[in-house]
Structure 1
Amino acid sequence: MKKNLSAAALAAVLCASAIAIASDKGSTPPASTAPVPAGAYTLDKAHASLIFKVNHLGFSNYTARFKRFDAKLQFDPADLPAAKLIATVDVTSLETDFPDPAMLDFNAQLLGEEWFDAARFPTMEYCSKRIEQTGPKSMRIHGDLTLRGVTKPVTLEATYNGGYAGHPMDPHARIGFSAHGTLKRSDFGISYGIPAPGTMMGVGDEVTVIIETEFNGPPLAAAEE
């Protein structure tokens, strides 16, 4: 019995050692220590999400997303208010996670005339007009949103999550942001189903937008010159 326990203990130690060695060999090298460069940045679509939420009957916050969108950013980490952002969204990429023609194709319903009217307005655009720094890494983005042919001001609260000048496995500068904001869909002509005053029976007018993004910038070699 003791021999069996000793053998099992030895095997466990050897296994743990092998895992540690393998892990050490496969560890990720450090990123460049050069400062994050100022310049033109483009959206890394593989590391970005655009989600919106709206109250449904007072029972839940219904959530959906857009799968295809793009953005360009002029950015200087030493001067956040100088940033300039232009983003476009493919409205037809709406995803409700319930496109079931056998029951209800909710994607198609929300893309219809009463909602996004994507046949007439297949894209929306957001363009920053002024950026106000509210903390060391936080900012308030004042911009215009164009949706269904209507342009209205929409403000986003954003946080600069940091970045690097480059990495051996990612030889371009990379920066990341989190942002959120609210808008009234009725401002853009989407008034279907809004509850009567004093009730929650319907789909809320206020829409919350949640954005997570990473951007790619100048190549590492340029940053280290």
Structure 2
Amino acid sequence: MRALRYVLLAGLLGAAVTAQAAPVTYTMDPGHTYVLFSWNHFGYSNPTASLSLGEGTIVFDDKDPSKSSVNVTLPLANLDTHVSKLDEHLKKADFFDAEKYPDITFKSTKVEAAGGNKFKVTGDLTVHGVTKPVVLDATLNKSGLHPMMKVPAVGFDATAMIKRSDFGVGAYVPNVSDEIQVHITTEASVPKTEATK
């Protein structure tokens, strides 16, 4: 009987430890992370540009999303509109002023569950030296052991709408739209050295 009590106690302790598992830290994969943004040009077209990842970390706790976080750096050197002259123009002082402000950063301040695999990620977005709060509508695409890398991994998509004039990048508004649609997709994994500990 005493042995049975020990087994039950050990089971309860194990369940408690599992329920309080620590958040997992994932490193974002630059080869599978893209930030796409689009705008309206004089009502005629909706061009799209992309920024690739400099570095990024996702801390994710599926049991308690409030313990999750995101921290991302996007170098403007990686800006790609598919038009080289436009790339050069957007990096100049009347837009991003990339020489003075070489990076765009996002650092979350709050993560909330929004039902199912949806989350609201509030954070500080810094563009052109200006920091403003932004909310990302994020969707967990998948989590689990990555079939190729054999380490824990997660994948997310996220969207947001921002006003570029809020960040001091308001040239040609309203002919070139103030509203910028943002779409992010990313894969992130536990570094192999951490996964094998």
Normalised TM-score (structure 1): 0.73
Give the secondary structure class of the aligned counterpart of 2:178: strand
CA distance 1:38–1:219, change in 2 (3 Å): farther
Which letter does structure 2 place at the counterpart of 1:207?
Answer: I
Query: Residue 213 of structure 1 corresponds to which residue in structure 2?
Result: 186
Q: Given the alignment of the two structures, is residue 141 of structure 1 paired with residue 121 of structure 2, yes or no?
A: yes
Q: Which residue, out of 64, 76, 82, partners 1:79?
A: 64
Distance 1:118 1:42 in 2: 25
Give the secondary structure class of the aligned counterpart of 1:109: helix
Query: Residue 172 of structure 1 corresponds to which residue in structure 2?
Result: 151
Q: Which residue, out of 86, 91, 102, partners 2:76?
A: 91
Which letter does structure 2 place at the counterpart of 1:186?
Answer: S
Query: Residue 100 of structure 2 corresponds to which residue in structure 1?
Result: 120
Which letter does structure 2 place at the counterpart of 1:215?
Answer: A
What is the alpha-carbon root mean square deviation over aligned residues? 2.1
1:55 is displaced (CA, Å) by 1.1
Query: Residue 43 of structure 2 corresponds to which residue in structure 1?
Result: 58
Q: Contact (CA 8 Å) 2:59, 2:69: kept in 1 or not?
A: yes
Which letter does structure 2 place at the counterpart of 1:171?
Answer: K
Query: Residue 69 of structure 1 corresponds to which residue in structure 2?
Result: 54
Structure 1: stretches of 5+ with no match in the other structure: 1-36, 100-104, 196-201
Distance 1:220 1:108 in 2: 39
Q: Which residue, out of 177, 181, 190, partners 2:169?
A: 190
Which letter does structure 2 place at the counterpart of 1:152?
Answer: K
Percent identity over the alignment is 34
Structure 2: stretches of 5+ with no match in the other structure: 1-21
Q: Contact (CA 8 Å) 1:161, 1:175: kept in 2 or not?
A: yes
Q: Which has the larger radius of gyration?
A: 1
1:165 is displaced (CA, Å) by 2.8
Q: Given the alignment of the two structures, is residue 153 of structure 1 paired with residue 133 of structure 2, yes or no?
A: yes
CA distance 1:145–1:221, change in 2 (3 Å): closer
Q: Deviations over 1:29-52 (max 9, x none)?
A: xxxxxxxx8411000111111100
Distance 2:42 2:82 in 1: 19
Normalised TM-score (structure 2): 0.83
Give the secondary structure class of the aligned counterpart of 1:119: coil
How many residues are paired up?
177
1:218 is displaced (CA, Å) by 5.7
